[in-house]
Structure 1
């Protein structure tokens, strides 16, 4: 399997980046995880031609070609970072690669609660009509006290958290297999979702 791991922050010093890099190494025998940055992307500005900037178009193409997406988000003021929200707005407004794409949400936080509220908010966002991602239900990985969680080689030092992450990732791989088969059997609905507009909804549907 091939997954795209999105570092959900523009911070240069992020334990969410460290978490995805650990996953990329730890699960190398099961899947290829390409860790992608968002820190150089421009803020969303709703261009009239609905064309994505080059970097976002390239990320969108990678998402389209991948079997699934893993988003690692910190928690800022009970929500996701502005940089991650901006990326999602670009994707929903332009290329819409997340429609019917399996998504796993993980998160690391300096505090004790992990990124639980940010993850819950991200789930709500990804269910919007222009996104409609297939989010793995009933499972979330929250890494609290993340500044102390990795050694100098980038290894997650808590065995019980490694076991928990392994179980979540195994579930996600199974979820990806089932979801992609379901989507393959209903490709027409996916294409219809990509054509959704609020103007169409206001007009009472497609004429």
Structure 2
């Protein structure tokens, strides 16, 4: 039996981020042969092409963690109808220098949660565009544009009963997506 390593990237730096809470809770819906680990992106310097040949330690660390992963899970809020700058910076850092992208060929899933009724629909669409260019195979269905609502999480920070069936279905599809790509 193969053990899968999944790199989770949360596109929010806020300590009490809904997306960080979602990322921590969704991990518990994965099967035991999947290890999902958060990748730190808040300490990355802003991308500067002058640094391509000698990247900072946090950039090297992040790239190694992504390279070692069998798949990626990105959990992101929506800022101004797009992805947060910290997430875009991480994507840029991992894609450079040209020809040395750690993203290429990786399967991925995208989730996001927001107080707004549309969830993170626009951010996810923009993220799909960027990931497509980076040669990341993104799970297309089911989509999950989540709104923060009463019962989304229980008192212990787990996925609440009202959302568990939907999110377990999403996780089951994501797991199948990763396994499919692992067989190739």
Shorter-chain TM-score tier: 0.7 to 0.9
- Report the CA distance between 1:141 and its aligned residue: 1.8
Please give the TM-score of this superposition, normalised by the length of structure 1.
0.79
Structure 2 unmatched ranges of 5 or more: none
Residue equivalent to 2:182 = 180
- Report the CA distance between 1:163 and its aligned residue: 1.2
1:50-89 equivalent positions in 2, closer than 5 A: 50-89=53-92
Please give the TM-score of this superposition, normalised by the length of structure 2.
0.88
Structure 1 residues 124 and 146, CA, compared in 2 at 3 Å: closer, same or farther? farther
User: Helix, strand or coil for the counterpart of 1:32?
Assistant: strand
Matched, 1:167 2:172: no
1:1-207 equivalent positions in 2, closer than 5 A: 1-27=4-30, 29-47=32-50, 49-94=52-97, 95-128=100-133, 131-145=134-148, 149-159=152-162, 161-182=163-184
The separation in 2 between residues aligned to 1:139 and 1:171, in whole angstroms, is 7
User: Helix, strand or coil for the counterpart of 2:160?
Assistant: coil
Deviations 1:24-51 (A, max 9, x none): 2332535111022322221112225444
The answer to whether the 8 Å contact 2:18/2:114 transfers is yes
- Over 4 Å off, 4+ runs: none
- Does 140-149 or 173-182 show the bigger shift? 140-149
- Report the CA distance between 1:83 and its aligned residue: 0.6
The separation in 2 between residues aligned to 1:72 and 1:13, in whole angstroms, is 14
Equivalences, count: 179
Deviations 1:19-74 (A, max 9, x none): 11002233253511102232222111222544432112212212221110000010
The separation in 2 between residues aligned to 1:29 and 1:164, in whole angstroms, is 20
The separation in 2 between residues aligned to 1:22 and 1:122, in whole angstroms, is 22
- Report the CA distance between 1:107 and its aligned residue: 0.4
- Does 13-22 or 165-174 show the bigger shift? 165-174
Q: CA RMSD in A?
A: 1.9
